[in-house]
Amino acid sequence: MVHGTALQAVLLAVSAAAAAAATTMDKRIHGGEAASLADFPYFVKVGTGCGGSLLDSTTVVTAAHCWRSLRQRTYVESMGEPGLVSPVESMITHPNYLESLKGWEGNEERYQQAYGFDVAILKLSTPMEAGANVGYAKLPAADSPKPKADSVGIAVGWGRNPKERGNVAKVELPILKDCPAQGGKWPVKNAICTGNGGRRKSACHGDSGGPLVDKDTGVLIGITMAGSCGEYTSFTPVARHLAFIREKMNSRRPKGAPRCNIVQFTAGTKDTCLTSQDYRYDDPFSYQAQKPKEVWWGHSQPH
């Protein structure tokens, strides 16, 4: 991974091209070890470069910025061998999530909105029923406090060879009391942050959306969001967004919902479907301050 100086440069999800390059450069989880299917039967691969946690047979929780990982492969795959594959019927991002990688210099409100609500729910077309190779993550209680400083969380990601199903890695990370300003002007508020004391342990490229679980209880406490490989990692706190998560777990495709080949955006008051040709990181009209909404694909078969 290239260690950037700005937080926006180190989003842990990558485009398909960047993901392909990253597999030849470094591990995904830094300083970790092989993860057991028995310990993380709910862990899934999301699209081309993200992870997620299966909550029930048709629901995955992941990071909102992982919509980019679904642009070319709108499917979820379990880590078992053989893995189960299910098309993603819909992606529902938190209503307060706003992604913008340009124009936020000096704008803390936009900065916090980009990273303070980085959570999304995926609904699957084909159920992944619990069984020998599939299980569901444990959600925290509604009144769960923020994890205590110096407690330990376990982050899970796709390891050195993400194209090889089942090669999943885990790493134990100490919880920090406060989040550092990782190259930006402000620390991310309301995030769970981990540090490694210079031991070069962290989540890294391709680990976005994956779980951070409490070492002692196995409860899902965070969703991998951003950070610097080998240094610090920020996680979206699950307990803080539990109401959104539980509401959208029961979501059903509304009558007349649009079907988009790539991603549905809201730009002002107009909903649009962007194509891959329309989507450019450096184009403020197609990217800056756009807000993903509920996205419905309607696929029926993997490809």
The encoded tokens of residue 181 equal 């300003």
Q: Looking at residue 248, which CATH number applies to its domain?
A: 2.40.10.120
Residue pLDDT, tens place only, 117-134: 899 999 998 999 999 889
Range scoring the smallest mean pLDDT among 36-40, 125-129, 205-209, 288-292: 288-292
- For residue 20, is it within any domain? no
280 within a domain of the structure (yes/no) = no
Q: Is residue 17 part of a domain?
A: no
Does any domain span residue 131? yes
297 domain residue, yes or no = no
| pLDDT classification of 5: cutoffs 50, 70, 90 | very low
CA-CA-CA-CA torsion sign (195, 200, 201, 203): positive
Please determine, for residue 81, whether its predicted confidence score (pLDDT) is greater than 50: yes
Pick the residue with more confidence: 123 or 282?
A: 123
Residue range of the domain that includes 82: 33-274
CA distance 62 to 51: 7
User: Is 135 within the bounds of a domain?
Assistant: yes
Question: pLDDT above 70 covers what percent of the chain?
Answer: 59
Instruction: For residue 25, tell me if it sits in a domain.
Output: no
Position 283 in a domain: no
Distance between CA atoms of 56 and 32, rounded to whole angstroms?
27
Active site residues: 65, 118, 208
- How far is Cα of residue 50 from the mean position of the Cα atoms in its chain? 6
Query: What is the total count of domains within the chain?
Result: 1
Question: Collapsing DSSP states into helix, strand and coil, what is residue 210?
Answer: coil
Taking only the tens place, the pLDDT of each residue in 13-58 is 433 333 333 332 234 555 556 767 888 999 999 988 899 999 999 9
Q: Is the pLDDT of residue 257 over 70?
A: no
